[in-house]
Amino acid sequence: MNGLLTDLYQLTMAAGYVQAGKARQSATFELFLRHLPPDRNYVVAAGLAQAVEYLLGFGFTGEEIDYLRGLPQFSRAPAEFFEALRGLRFTGDVFAVPEGTPIFAGEPILTVRAPLIEAQIPETYLLATIGFQTMVATKAARMVEAAAGRPVVEFGTRRAHSPEAGVLAGRAGYIGGCIGTSNTLTGLRYGVPVFGTAAHSWVQSFASETESFRELQKLLGTATVYLVDTYDTLEGTRRAAALGAPLWGVRLDSGNLAELSRAARAILDRAGLRDARIMVSGDLNEYKILEMSKERLPIDSYGVGTELATSGDAPRISVVYKIVELEDGGARRYTLKLSEEKETLPGAKQVFRYADHDLLGRADECPGAEPQALLAPVIVDGELVAPLPDAHAARAHAAECREKLPTAYRSLFTATPPYRVEHSQALRSLYDETRRAVRR
Amino acid sequence: MNGLLTDLYQLTMAAGYVQAGKARQSATFELFLRHLPPDRNYVVAAGLAQAVEYLLGFGFTGEEIDYLRGLPQFSRAPAEFFEALRGLRFTGDVFAVPEGTPIFAGEPILTVRAPLIEAQIPETYLLATIGFQTMVATKAARMVEAAAGRPVVEFGTRRAHSPEAGVLAGRAGYIGGCIGTSNTLTGLRYGVPVFGTAAHSWVQSFASETESFRELQKLLGTATVYLVDTYDTLEGTRRAAALGAPLWGVRLDSGNLAELSRAARAILDRAGLRDARIMVSGDLNEYKILEMSKERLPIDSYGVGTELATSGDAPRISVVYKIVELEDGGARRYTLKLSEEKETLPGAKQVFRYADHDLLGRADECPGAEPQALLAPVIVDGELVAPLPDAHAARAHAAECREKLPTAYRSLFTATPPYRVEHSQALRSLYDETRRAVRR
């Protein structure tokens, strides 16, 4: 149901649409980024599966409607409004780019065409779920890029913005290129591979570190990762090495990871454990990982938590959901916004992707055979067109798209000039016409 | 249930505790902040209600246990582990500070004393829910401080890290001092007052701005807030003013809010609408609000979204959950961690609050009549001691505590010296003894 998980103004507007006889007018809204987050040359679209799940289950319970009826904001609302909520389902159409697709500013990630009331109320939920997962998938892609082939595991749930955010961060991180997550529910819900062995409390719960290591080895065998920094990283590494095989390796979680990784490597090698691996963690981000990659440190794997699950350097994304056209009294009207620095372009759009640039055009344009149209129908008349690709498919799609991106845009730093996104002649004409026509 | 909403390593450790015969050893873990976030002189504790709800419902479904059984990490786990999960409930004790209480680095917000397996698995969830709400309540308190008596409304769900994070941000923002939220589900679930009127799409869905305003006034009467910047802020304000009473006022959402608020005020006054109010919004944070307060702008109310729901300048909080003591083989053993910059103090603790400083002592200390002990039992033997204060009570408590804080620590900037948190002689002795005794 989840109808109430929205901003109240979506519901006062809904009541107003009913009052004004506009609730069933067909409207088109687009969800897009106003601008790219700092240092990003693209974002990785993610969250469509949760958006679709929400729309297919959209509605209001009797309790929810009763709650609204009791609010002062609805004291003058027409009785038809509450009636309309009672039977409300999403009966419209959704077009979207597949999860994992690189997207640039101004390009619709998702388009909703539905009766005005059905298109308006979902705004808040759609923004929150697509915005968050897109932000995290993007951050993950940067970490993976920096790791230059070494695996990156997501384990940020504890610092995510609520437990549920952690579950979704695990999913989005996987789509962005992580090999898996520590979040076990993400594993069950979305089939994402899960990782994890032991924390400091494990070591501390035993009278000696060696005893804790021995017990872990018994449990995990070749999957054993010793967390070695509870008391002293290198001493811990020596104790782990002394136990010999089987083991996967050791994890370093504090201190100077460059120095410690070299020293730990030497300890493991001297013990004849050349196949034992070294994982590092501890407030890592893409910039630190890039430095480690450049230094060619003996690091086999990265664990990233807080910085990934919160997109630490860019914890917000300028995702918006704007009305672009409307059937009003039998005529189609295009809409735009002229607010300072928040202008929008009218009319339903399509993104056409060429090898080295995009063309943002009108939805009904057909600019020739070459370019790929990114937005495809996902829901038609309230029904799912076909099962969506799962997280594995989305991750593979993201990896493939990343390979195709011109190298400059895969950088962790802002490329100049930015990736080229042109506006079609038809779109520019529509903007000029609409701007002239807008009757304030 | 929610047992699986945790890091996998909590579960591998749990299996290991069963394997080692340690699962039922009584352990004490403390949840605290390693250090305060930048520019913060304190944090506002929040999220206890959700933590308690989780612990009271804690457990595993058959499907969840089957999923774990199929994971490679559990291929060597003893059968008793899966048996243990099947009947697992939280049977331990929880001590906590009331929601709304100002807290400083190193002070336990929550203490869990339970059989090791029951205390270990909840770590991830507890950190995520208390960490996030504490972060947002703290950010809200800063906004409210900056607004100097003018109301602040939270409306950040669209940019929150997932829809559910938005629901909790609305709750935490209210505890921190906001007058309410835009999130309607927060209103229903937690009784938080809800606010909201109309967005740009409302204005755009009508052929003229005036028509959209008239229709809104009909719906909302004296609660009408006109969003005036869709096309031109002052033109919009004039159109709103032309409609006369009833109205609440106007909302300015873009452009130079200082200039526009003055100009809008003049327009409203000239129209005889001296009681009409001005709300401002648009990427506001405590620093911008403080500037506006200092300039004595004609602003009656602030709407804050992204910056609040994501704690924009400090989107992470260094909350950790550490084992501090354990009953091992009939003897009590105190635990600490010596990792670089991540040291912990052994033994269960209590926070004693004096008028101008805190004393961090051992849980069984009694330093005299004056100081208030902040941690109180919330769950005993798995049962709730008494209903927790609701969000209203927590908000009132936060406001009262803020009033009592020495002024220097209510600043938006780092106070020097920081608020004084002393360690008791007994705690210092325990640290020295434990450090000497720790057998690695």
Q: Do B162 and A163 touch (CB under 8 A)?
A: no
Q: In chain B, which residue's Cα lies nearest the Cα of A253?
A: B339
Average pLDDT value over all residues in chain B = 96
Q: Which of B309, B333, B368 is the last residue of a domain?
A: B309
Strand duo A372-373 + A357-362: pairing? unpaired
Q: Do A160 and B128 touch (CB under 8 A)?
A: yes
Tell me which residue of B130, B165, B168, B127 sits closest to B6, measured CA to CA. B127
- The predicted model gives B345-369 an average pLDDT of 93
Tell me which residue of B430, B126, B17 sits closest to A199, measured CA to CA. B17
CATH number, domain with residue A128: 3.20.140.10
CB atoms within 10 A of CB A244: 12
* C-alpha to C-alpha distance for B238 and B229, rounded to whole angstroms: 11
**Which residues of chain A have a CB within 8 Å of the CB of B124?**
157-158, 163, 166, 183
Sorting pLDDT into bands at 50, 70 and 90, what band is B81?
very high
Indicate whether B341 pLDDT > 80.
no
Torsions phi, psi of A69, nearest 5? -60, -30
Is cis: bond before B406, omega within 30 of 0?
A: no
pLDDT in tens, B361-371: 999 998 877 88
Among the partner-chain residues A68, A188, A341, the one whose CB lies closest to the CB of B4 is A188
The ipTM of this complex is 0.97
Which domain does B53 fall in, by range? Answer: 8-133+321-437
pLDDT in tens, B244-255: 999 999 999 999
> Structurally, how many domains does chain A consist of?
1
Q: How far is CA A88 from CA A2, A15, A25, B183, B309, in A?
A: 12, 13, 15, 19, 29
Among the partner-chain residues A159, A199, A341, the one whose CB lies closest to the CB of B316 is A159
- The predicted model gives B16-33 an average pLDDT of 98
One domain for residues B326 and B427: yes
* C-alpha to C-alpha distance for B15 and B12, rounded to whole angstroms: 5
Q: What is the pLDDT of residue A439?
A: 55
One domain for residues B212 and B263: yes
In a domain, B314, yes or no: no
One domain for residues B33 and B88: yes
One domain for residues B51 and B161: no
**Which residues of chain A have a CB within 8 Å of the CB of B255?**
339-340
One domain for residues B258 and B381: no
One domain for residues B158 and B283: yes
Q: Which of A19-23, A340-344, B103-107 has the lowest mean pLDDT?
A: A340-344
In a domain, A29, yes or no: yes
Q: Do A335 and B204 touch (CB under 8 A)?
A: yes
CATH number, domain with residue B278: 3.20.20.70
Q: Do B9 and A199 touch (CB under 8 A)?
A: yes
One domain for residues B185 and B226: yes
Q: What is the sign of the dihedral through the CA atoms of B98, B100, B104 and B105?
A: positive
Q: Do B4 and A127 touch (CB under 8 A)?
A: no
Percentage of chain B lying above the pLDDT 90 cut: 94
Is cis: bond before A38, omega within 30 of 0?
A: no
Secondary structure element (H or E) that encloses residue A321, with its range: strand A319-328
CB B129 within 8 A of CB A163: yes
Q: Do A16 and B326 touch (CB under 8 A)?
A: no
**Which residues of chain B have a CB within 8 Å of the CB of A321?**
158
Q: What is the pLDDT of residue A330?
A: 84
- The predicted model gives A336-341 an average pLDDT of 80
One domain for residues B277 and B399: no
Q: Do A163 and B188 touch (CB under 8 A)?
A: no
Q: What is the pLDDT of residue A56?
A: 98
Q: Do B6 and A336 touch (CB under 8 A)?
A: no
To the nearest whole Å, the CA of B90 is away from the closest chain A CA by 18
**Which residues of chain A have a CB within 8 Å of the CB of B185?**
2, 4-6
- The predicted model gives A363-386 an average pLDDT of 93
Sorting pLDDT into bands at 50, 70 and 90, what band is A1?
confident
Q: Which of B242, B277, B309 is the last residue of a domain?
A: B309
- Beta bridge partners of residue B152, listed in sequence order: B302
In a domain, A112, yes or no: yes
**Which residues of chain B have a CB within 8 Å of the CB of A332?**
none
Q: Do B255 and A216 touch (CB under 8 A)?
A: no
Residue A301 carries which DSSP code? E
Distance of CA B226 to the CA centre of its chain: 31
**Which residues of chain B have a CB within 8 Å of the CB of A252?**
none
One domain for residues B325 and B298: no
Sorting pLDDT into bands at 50, 70 and 90, what band is A437?
confident
**Which residues of chain B have a CB within 8 Å of the CB of A67?**
184, 187-188
Q: Which of A221-230, A329-338, B41-50, B177-186 has the lowest mean pLDDT?
A: A329-338
Q: How far is CA B384 from CA A68, A302, A303, A326, in A?
A: 31, 41, 37, 53
Residue B158 carries which DSSP code? G
Q: In chain A, which residue's Cα lies nearest the Cα of B2?
A: A185
Q: What is the pLDDT of residue A339?
A: 78
One domain for residues B409 and B430: yes
Q: In chain A, which residue's Cα lies nearest the Cα of B203?
A: A440
Indicate whether B73 pLDDT > 70.
yes
pLDDT in tens, A25-69: 999 999 999 999 999 999 999 999 999 999 999 999 999 999 999
**Which residues of chain A have a CB within 8 Å of the CB of B80?**
none
Residue B35 carries which DSSP code? S
Q: Do B16 and A326 touch (CB under 8 A)?
A: no
Q: What is the pLDDT of residue B439?
A: 55
One domain for residues B117 and B189: no
Q: Do B215 and A16 touch (CB under 8 A)?
A: yes
In a domain, A296, yes or no: no
Q: Do A338 and B183 touch (CB under 8 A)?
A: no
In a domain, B262, yes or no: yes
Using DSSP's 3-state secondary structure scheme, residue A110 falls into strand
**Which residues of chain A have a CB within 8 Å of the CB of B164?**
5, 162, 164-165
In a domain, A366, yes or no: yes
- The predicted model gives A289-314 an average pLDDT of 97
Q: What is the pLDDT of residue A298?
A: 98
Q: Do B196 and A12 touch (CB under 8 A)?
A: yes
pLDDT in tens, A186-210: 999 999 999 999 999 999 999 999 9
One domain for residues B295 and B178: yes
In a domain, B169, yes or no: yes
Percentage of chain A lying above the pLDDT 70 cut: 100
First vs last C-alpha separation in chain B: 36
In a domain, A101, yes or no: yes
Q: Do B316 and A312 touch (CB under 8 A)?
A: yes
Among the partner-chain residues A209, A319, A341, the one whose CB lies closest to the CB of B440 is A209
